[in-house]
Amino acid sequence: MLLSALLFVSWFSTSLAVNFDWEDVQLTQAETANYSAIRFAGQGADPPAQECRYIPGDKAWPSDAEWIKFNETLGGALLRPLPLASVCYDGPNYNSVRCGQLKNSWISMNIHTEDPISVMSQWSTGSSCVATSNPNSTCTQGGYPVYVVNATTVRQVQIAVNFARNQNIRLVVKNSGHDFNGRSVGGGALSVWVHNLKGLNYHANYTSSNYSGQAVVYGGGFQAQDAYLPMWLYNITFLVAGGPGVGIAGGFLQGAGHSTYTSYYGLAADHVLSIQVVTAHGKFITLNAKQNPDLFWAIRGGGGGNWGIVTSVVVKAFPVTPIASGVITFGTLPRSGSNSTGVSEDNFWEGMRAYWETAVAIVDAGGLGYSFIRHRKSGNATGIEFTVTISLPNRLVSDYRNITRPLLIKLQSLGFPVTIPKVKRYYVPSPDSDPNAAIDALMPNHVQPRAIGDVTGNTLIASRLWPRTNFETPEALDEMNAAIRDAISTSGGGYTFHGMNYGPSLKVSGYPNNAVNPAFRNTLMHAQGYEADAWWDTTSPVVPFPTLKERHDRLQSYMQKWRDITPGGGSYINEGDAQSPVWQAEFWGSKYGRLVGIKRKWDPWGVFFSISTPGSEAWEVRSSSGGGYDGIYTQDGRLCRVY
């Protein structure tokens, strides 16, 4: 661990500068004078608007010579990658050894993060080239981008944006590809890969118009796992995602950004001080409370991939904030090694109702309840199991005991074999403490670096932000418990449940003024329902489109039951169903109209398209036959204007 710290310390610095060196490398108007394809918007007449973006095979698609010139202008940063799994298919790229390695690691998010075009949600590409044991099957580019700019300077980002706008080519942005809805892919697209815009600067005394204190600046390619070491080095806390591979300057922060500290500090978007971004015009600008405040408002919560390409972010840094954390588990199956006979499903859901009551105390103490309800097997028996990691920032182990004691007593009365949970106080050690313990002691288990990252596959997911009112009366608790039971039980939906009990109220968050979904401010739980074991196993046939649509419609039928009993609720775009029939209201509520107006002002060309983000209803992805998709919006078609 000490060696690792020494190797990476040069990646982080204490600096008075806000910009990174690679942000000072910018495109000038003089460079574009003799190359119209990379001119800024307004530098001469803009090309006429077309109904659809050009794709390979179109007469107006750039020639090979034009792509060569474009690459030379970029300094050789243009890639033309084949899908990651193309090594598994007959053809010049076939490699049985590499394919075998890929099949063994396909569900690991890490390999997809390091690839310029691969992503977590393979279904969004049309599942056009997945790791397979059948080399005679078909691999196509599908929804994967055709070309990629491996950006290492702002200049390269600007050139890519201008080229896509002027040449009428679809543009997408990829950092890590950690996305449930396929916002980092697009058929026939040019992609900007910001993954390598790394780095972090620490400012002990950052001053702006509305803030003075500690801050960090991190690059557009910065990931959650990159944050652990600088937190230790500088003895600070700042808000990052739980998934280690998540790009925190991208969809995470731009969609709201929840974390272990959501009930204590608020959301990641609430603590952004400044953003550096390349806009649809191709210009590199600063966003903050004084400069371009409307776009600054929109990009903090208005959804990733829709407003510009973020190259760096300045965020508040907090003092080291320790966490008291422990795990509670109960289920219907007998506990391994015990003499118990198991517990009835009715009693299980009585136990869940008791947890929902406890969740109010967890949130009001500034904590997080990070939970799952999963289906389990033991021999020939099947059952369900609930596991929750309860984390309490700036609280003691005794606080944890006091909050959870009523729940444990209730569980014992229901017949569950109760074990007093082991509780530990996690913290970021000071730089002069044992460096070998630094990362392991940083955070509770559910937010520590994981061995393989998040699972890649074809999982469909939907979610709901449950308001506090659903927890306030016995009748509301009963109604909520029944609706969740219906979605999870084998006699109902049979889905897996993932919940995060938190409450980023305006008071907790410091009364921020941003585009975050207003439903967040009254929520007490973000809850998902999703298909279990829907990752790609390399042997099953690719799920056909009609089957995928049937699965989606079924999931939405259960989500509608959740909507019906959560007036005033909403959904979190980063972990929700972007294909929801009411996505505008679910993701942004009363802020949607203002967001659309800002989108039209800053991107009248629709350079940035991201599924189910403000203004995206003006576009659709059309199938090869020219018609729009019905119900499942994969990205393997042509992007066209609807109006």
SS3 (DSSP) at 426: strand
Domain with CATH 3.30.465.10 in the chain: 2-21+198-319
pLDDT, position 338: 62
The DSSP secondary structure of 567-591, one letter per residue, reads: TT-B--GGGS-TT-TTHHHHHHGGG
User: Hey, what's the torsion of the CAs at 56, 62, 68, 74, to 10 degrees?
Assistant: -100
Span 323-350, average pLDDT: 87
pLDDT at residue 64, as a whole number: 98
At the topology level, CATH places domain 2-21+198-319 in: 3.30.465
Portions of the chain given CATH number 3.40.462.20: 323-425+447-574
- Indicate the angle between helix axes 474-488 and 545-564, nearest 10 degrees: 170
267-316 per-position pLDDT tens digit: 999 999 999 999 999 999 999 999 999 999 999 999 999 999 999 999 99
- What one-character DSSP code corresponds to residue 169? B
Q: Is the pLDDT of residue 643 over 60?
A: yes
> How is 337-395 classified by DSSP, letter by letter?
TS------HHHHHHHHHHHHHHHHHHHHTT-EEEEEEEEEEETTEEEEEEEEEEEEET-
Residue 438 has pLDDT above 80, yes or no: no
pLDDT at 14: 57
Q: Which residue has the tokens 């499942």?
A: 632
From residue 370, give the alpha-carbon distance in Å to each of 81, 169, 498: 38, 42, 8
Tokens of 507: 């008071």
Tokens coding 210: 């509305």
Question: 330: which residues sit within 8 A by CB, 6+ positions away?
Answer: 343, 348, 351, 385, 386, 411, 416, 418
Q: Are 514 and 270 in contact (CB under 8 A)?
A: yes
Q: How far apart are CA 35 and CA 15, in angstroms?
A: 37
| 187-204: b (≥16 Cβ within 10 Å) or e | bbbbbbbbbebbbbbbbe
pLDDT higher than threshold 90 for residue 542: no
If one counts every other C-beta atom within 10 angstroms of the C-beta of residue 164, the result is: 26
Query: Can you give the pLDDT at residue 447?
Result: 41
According to DSSP, residue 503 is labeled: -
Residue 483 token pair: 């609706």
Q: What is the mean pLDDT of residues 377-389?
A: 91
- At 17, the pLDDT band (50, 70, 90 cuts) reads low
CATH number of 323-425+447-574: 3.40.462.20
Q: Which one has a higher pLDDT value, 531 or 570?
A: 570
Nearest to 183 by CA among 597, 621, 485: 621
> Which percentage of the chain shows pLDDT scores above 70?
89
**In 3D, which of 315, 319, 316, 314 has the Cα closest to residue 235?**
319
**What count of residues does the chain have?**
643
The average confidence (pLDDT) of the chain is 90
pLDDT of 429 reads 40
| Distances in whole angstroms, Cα of residue 591 to Cα of each of 48, 479, 571, 583, 586 | 31, 29, 14, 13, 11
390, amino acid identity: I
pLDDT (0 to 100) of residue 526 = 98
Is pTM beyond 0.85? Reply is yes
The answer to whether residues 607 and 171 touch, using CB atoms and an 8 Å cutoff, is yes
